[in-house]
Amino acid sequence: MSGSNHDTMSLNLKVWRQKNNKDKGSMVDYKLDGVSPDMSFLEMMDTLNTKLVKEQGDTIAFDHDCREGICGMCSMMINGQAHGPEAETTTCQLHMRKFKSGDTIVIEPWRAKAFPVLKDLMVDRSAFDQIIAAGGFVNVNTGNPQDANAILIGQENAELAMDAAACIGCGACVASCKNASAMLFVSAKISQLALLPQGEVESEARTRDMVAKMDELGFGNCTNEAECEAQCPKGIKIENIARMNREWVKGAFAARK
């Protein structure tokens, strides 16, 4: 163990405060001392909230759940980047050692028309659920589970599907995209199913329906900048977007349903 945890940090925080979804909201400055470099970013936020409670202030609302980087609940734009400056890392897995004492850290919620702010740093990401409900599933006849090896899947497709399925639906792609486009998320969900025999059957209609829902909800268009890929905490690749584009062409011209 290094001795770094003895050196605490002092931080200047600029945090978006908004009472509810009707409130206009504004950036509020906080000074926080005694931050350990070994804390996670969310533990730092907890420390700030403890301080606010002691000062009888209103605590800052933010989403979090597993704090292990797998649930997709934590969000936050940290210094203008989704989940902060570290590549392939969620906010909960980002550590304060990545910052220096005296730093000013700007913390904002995801910004997108389809992700309205509920309170402070919490946004409503149910738009993603609506996209999934529009087609992000496989229709199957339920019954006894079949033998695990009854359907053989090629190694490469299995890997690609698994990579796409690593998407935790946190919305960092939307937040980091200059156009607030949800295409990386939607394409990951389309890909994980399209690459496997169980999902391939309905892929064309699924793509068409999910894309239509995505557009209806007011997400922006992809301009192929790959900022989503760069800021995705799970490293989802834009080759999934290309796959979605292919599936969409097939769906637009060939889907019978």
Partner 1 sequence: MSSKSKRSALTSIGQKQVMAVTGLLLCGFLVTHMLGNFTMFIGSDSFNKYSHALTSNPLIYLAEVGLAALFISHIAMAFRVVLANKQARPTPYHTYKKSGRGGTFASATMAYSGVIALVFLVFHILGLKFGTQYTAVVGGVEMRDIYKTTVEYFQDLTHVIGYIIAIVALGIHTSHGFWSAFQSLGFNHPKYNPKIEFLSVIFGIFIAVGFSAFPIFCFIQGGH
Nearest distance in Å: CB 49, partner 1: 21
Task: Copy the structure tokens of residue 144.
Answer: 């006894």
With binding defined as CB under 8 A, does residue 213 bind partner 1?
A: yes
In order of 73, 145, 148, 154, 158, the CA distances from 151 in angstroms are 34, 12, 7, 10, 12
d(CA 172, CA 140): 31
Please tell me whether residue 181 binds partner 1 under the rule CB under 8 A.
Answer: yes
Stretch that binds partner 1, among 35-43, 49-57, 162-170, 244-252 (CB under 8 A): 244-252
User: Which residue, 125 or 206, has its beta carbon nearer to partner 1?
Assistant: 206
* Site residues (CB under 8 A) for partner 1, limited to 20-79: 27, 77, 79
233 is a site residue for partner 1 (CB under 8 A): no
227 touches partner 1 by CB under 8 A:
yes
> Dihedral sign, CA of 167, 170, 176, 182?
positive
User: Which residue in the set 44, 62, 91, 108 belongs to the binding site for partner 1 (CB under 8 A)?
Assistant: 108
Is the separation of the CB atoms in 10 and 101 below 8 Å?
yes
The CA distance from 150 to 109, in Å, is: 46
Count the site residues for partner 1 by CB under 8 A.
61
How far is 33 from 161, CA to CA, in rounded Å? 45
| 138 neighbors 199 (Cβ within 8 angstroms) | yes
Nearer to partner 1, 6 or 253 (CB): 253
- What is d(CA 181, CA 175) in angstroms, rounded to the nearest whole number? 8
- Helix, strand or coil, per DSSP, at residue 41: helix
Measured from the CB atom, the residue of 25 and 95 that comes closer to partner 1 is: 25
Q: In this chain, which of 90, 93, 176, 192 binds partner 1, going by CB under 8 A?
A: 176
Question: Residue 157, interface with partner 1 (CB under 8 A)?
Answer: no
Where does this chain bind partner 1 (CB under 8 A)?
14, 16, 27, 77, 79-81, 85, 87, 106, 108, 111-114, 134-135, 139, 176, 178-181, 183, 202, 205-206, 208-209, 211-215, 218-231, 238-239, 241-249, 252, 257
